[in-house]
Amino acid sequence: MIQSRGIIVPTSWHLRASDKMKLDELEEIVACLPKERTLFNYAKDWYAVQLLKYSLEQPQAVHWIKQSNFGKLLNKPQLRSWLGSLGSTTLSREQLAMLYPEKAEAFRLTLDRFDWVQTSRKGKESWNLVLQLNLNNADACYLEKYLPERDVDPFELRYHPIHEGRNRTLAWARIDLDLAKGEALIEEIQNDRIRETLWWLNYIREGKRKFIRCGQKKLPAQFIEQYWERHMKAHSKMWDEAMLSAAIFFIREELGIRDIFYHTPESGSRYKGDGASGAPRSIYSKLPERFCFKKTDEVPSFLMKRRKTRPKKNTEDACQFHLLQL
């Protein structure tokens, strides 16, 4: 759950006829984010509870929920066990509100903007909103023992849209949107930190090295091994669902958007280009399926003009998106 005052969307957003995602419009959203810390508590499979809350505008019979698009969420161990003890044939948001994630990790959310490559819209319309899922103070304290200078960090790539403050970015989501039409497109979900930590760990173990160099800094192998075992190993098992969950509920709860598109491998390759086809397929196939996205022939309205200007050469030129309607 997001613990903040929430973003107040300027009235001017709803009055604009333009569907352009320009820098000045992004700045408006970023400026509205609460300046105090914005926490996002998450535990493995917690997205199931969050999605069910949004799907239940009214109490519903459990057997009807099982037959709906969200029915598979009831099979998650915590929910299945809790439903068995509840002894009720109906389910409501109020009942789900009694649950709390077990062994939750407290992440910190920040916003930024991005305009470079792999955006579906090009030119002046290509700006993306970036939601960053940042680690907590325990991670920061551990890193500061070995890396007191913030701009020295072997586990992040500076040309990516990461948070440059004390709390390092575990993962980020790039989002394009149109508030007037109530549509958002999750362009990508990605992380550097887990991948880079694992790369350095393998580098040390394969060469039986006792240290690595990061710029002018000499880091002991023990630091890398402990950072993986104590911090990144657990995150590696759920970073993708934690990031997608944060993105969905930021879009729905803070921006009030109900129609959330998500790229398929095919749509990402077609619209984003510039290496998008090299992304892990599971991030754009299995992950959205777990979150109850459905494949659709619909296209985000702000991409329609671009699609029309590109004539189909054959039937294989068409591609689908994932869509979640909350």
pLDDT, tens digit (0-9, with 9 covering 90-100), for 181-235: 999 999 999 999 999 999 999 999 998 899 988 877 889 999 999 999 999 999 9
Are residue 56 and residue 123 in the same domain, yes or no?
no
Residues 59, 184 within the same domain? no
82 and 188 in one domain?
Answer: no
Q: What is the DSSP letter of 198?
A: H
Query: What pLDDT is recorded for position 243?
Result: 98
- The full 3-state SS of 268-311, as one line of letters, equals HHHHCCCCHHHCCHHHHCHHHHHCCCEEECCCCHHHHHHHHCCC
Whether residue 106 has pLDDT greater than 50:
yes
State the pTM of this model: 0.86
Q: Are residues 92 and 14 in the same domain?
A: no
Output the six-digit token pair for 208. Answer: 């039986």
Task: Reduce the DSSP state of residue 224 to 3 states and report it.
Answer: helix
Same domain, yes or no, for 160 and 268? yes
Q: Do 158 and 298 reside in the same domain of the chain?
A: yes
Chosen domain end from 61, 96, 131: 96
| Residue 56 structural domain | 47-96
Q: How many domains does the chain have?
A: 2
CA 171 to chain centroid, in Å, comes to 7
Judge contact between 281 and 269, C-beta under 8 A. no
| Same domain flag for 208 and 68 | no
CB-based contacts of 282, cutoff 8 Å, min separation 6: none
CA–CA gap between residue 278 and residue 82 (Å, rounded): 40
Indicate the residue among 61, 78, 96 that finishes a domain.
Answer: 96
H or E element in which residue 323 lies? strand 321-325
Q: Tell whether 54 and 144 lie within a shared domain.
A: no
Q: Are residues 232 and 179 in the same domain?
A: yes
In a shared domain, residues 81 and 195:
no
Q: How far lies 276's CA from each of 228, 264, 269, in Å?
A: 28, 11, 5
As a whole number of angstroms, the distance between CA 82 and CA 250 comes to 26
Tell whether 36 and 58 lie within a shared domain: no
Q: Kindly report, residue by residue over 153-182, the tens digit of the pLDDT.
A: 999 988 898 998 889 999 999 999 988 899
**23 vs 197, residue with greater confidence:** 197
Residue 173's identity, in one-letter code, is: A
For residues 91 and 203, state if they share a domain: no
Question: Per the structure block, which two tokens stand in for 164?
Answer: 């440059």
The answer, yes or no, to whether residue 277 has pLDDT greater than 50, is: yes
